[in-house]
Each structure stands twice: as C-alpha cells, then as structure tokens.
Amino acid sequence: MGVFQAAAVQLAATSDKAANLAAAGRLVAEAAADGAALVVLPEVFSWRGRRRDEGDAAETIPGPTTEYCGDLARQFRIHLVAGSILEGGAAPGKVFNTSCVFSPEGRLIGQYRKIHLFDVDLPDRVSVNESDTRAPGDEPVVVETALGTIGLSICYDLRFPELYRVLVQRGATIITVPAAFTAPTGEAHWDCLLRARAIENQVYLLAPNQYGSTPHGFSDYGHTMVIGPWGDILGCAADGDAVVHATIDPDRVTTVRREMPCLAHARLLD
C-alpha cells in the first residue's frame, strides 16, 4: 500500500433517480480520469424526495443502484464508497440509510447502516425527524481494502466521537463521511467537527456533502472536504457539482501517530 489519489464527490440529488445516477456516474468518471483510486459519493446520492415516499424509493441490497455502482467501480478500476442509499427491509414503514463499498472488481465488499438518526428542531431554521421513516443500524463497520482499512460513517454520525474511536480501534486509517449536512448546522459546525474527528483519531477523512435546496424546505451546505490526519484541509469545494481530490499517504498516518501518540495514551477506553 502506497500513496494514492482519492476524491470526494459533491452533487445535489433530487427525486429523479435516473438523473441522479447519471450525475454520479459522470462525476465518478471525472474523478477516475484525474487519477483517483478511491471515490466517495454523498449521502442519499441516488434519490432524495419527500419523507412519505422513502419506502417506495428504497431498494434491496444488492439491487439496481448497487449494481450500477458496482459497474462503475469495475469500469474505472476504483474503490467506490457509494455514499448512502435507502435500503428497504427495516421495521414496518422504515428504511435503513446504508453506505456500500465496492472493490475495483465491482464486488460489494462492505456495507454500513447509519446508526445515529437526525431528529432535530431548530426553530425557523431546520426541522428534521429521520426516525419517522428510518431505522438505525447498530454495528460500526470497517472494510479492509488494498488501499488501507476504511471506516464508514454517515452525516449525523459526525457528532458522536465514540463511533470514530471504535472505527480506529478496529484499524481504520481512512474514514468516510458521506453527508447531506444542512446549511445552518454546516455553517456553524461542519469544518470544525470534521477537523476534530481527524485530529483526535489521526486519520484521513473524506467528507462529500450535498448542496443546494432540498425537498424538506432547507438547504444543504456543500463544502465537501478531505482532511488529513494532522487536521489539515487537503481540499474543499464550495457550491455546485464538484470533485475534490487529495493525496492519501498511509505513511503520514504512521508518522502523525508516532510523533503525537495520543491513541497510545488513551486511558478511558472499554
């Protein structure tokens, strides 16, 4: 495992699944053409619509969207983290929000169901109750790949540092944070939370976010980022469709952990 290029993709999904997949495919192709070996898509990149329609939009895994993503990974010979899709088969009337990882051969090699659900009411700014239509997962997931061990998280998970420490304890040197992070909360907290999770766990963070207006009456923040293990911002987008590239150097993780051995000094662990 050596130095490689990674890319985080920013887009704005709608309820038109075919158009969303076409946009994702175009941006993945752009990332691969520029040398990315690992590409990460945002949360709910393939469909985003009204809460009451989520059950109808959900798919099985494997299913049409994961087959499409597997084909992309195989076509471009990349590792692809397919942000998240809505997965059917949860409790009655509920779906899972699931992130899937594909190998360069197009195989599904890992999947993670979002553990923390965004139930928040900020008066006159954001009101979201994901638990109305979604069920939480219950298991942290890391995926062993030729590029290193990738830990999986999704959006609101970012506010729960204990998950990230578990992922690192299980070997993660890269953590993905596909998101549809809202503009009000993003402006206040997105970059500082990302940098904090990277700094305290001494990992690379790839955080592709959605942007623009949503079906829920608020806007997403954009500002897709890649953060290094020292907390340095290696790349950032603002608004609009974008591909954020960064160089991932596994030796950098080793060096940071050796020179600032916080993980070895941690004492309040189970």
Angle at alpha carbon of residue 188, lines to 186 and 189, rounded to 5°: 65
In whole angstroms, what is the distance from residue 259 CA to residue 256 CA?
5
Task: Exactly one of 43, 54, 59, 130 is catalytic; name it.
Answer: 43
In terms of Cα–Cα distance, which of 230, 169, 239 is closest to 209?
239
Out of 54, 87, 114, 236, the active site residue is 114
What is the pLDDT, as a whole number, of residue 255? 98
Whether 139 sits among the annotated catalytic residues: the reply is: no
Pick the CATH number of 4-265 from 3.30.160.620, 3.40.50.720, 3.40.50.620, 3.60.110.10: 3.60.110.10
Q: What is the pLDDT along the chain (270 residues), one digit of tens a residue?
A: 699 999 999 999 999 999 999 999 999 999 999 999 999 999 999 999 998 999 999 999 999 999 999 999 999 999 999 999 999 988 888 999 999 999 999 999 999 999 999 887 777 666 778 888 999 999 999 999 999 999 999 999 999 999 999 999 999 999 999 999 999 899 999 999 999 999 999 999 999 999 998 877 789 999 999 999 999 999 999 889 999 999 999 999 999 999 999 999 999 876
Q: For residue 270, what pLDDT is reported?
A: 63
Is 17 assigned a catalytic role?
no
Catalytically annotated residue among 17, 54, 94, 155: 155
Residue with tokens 């963070």: 205
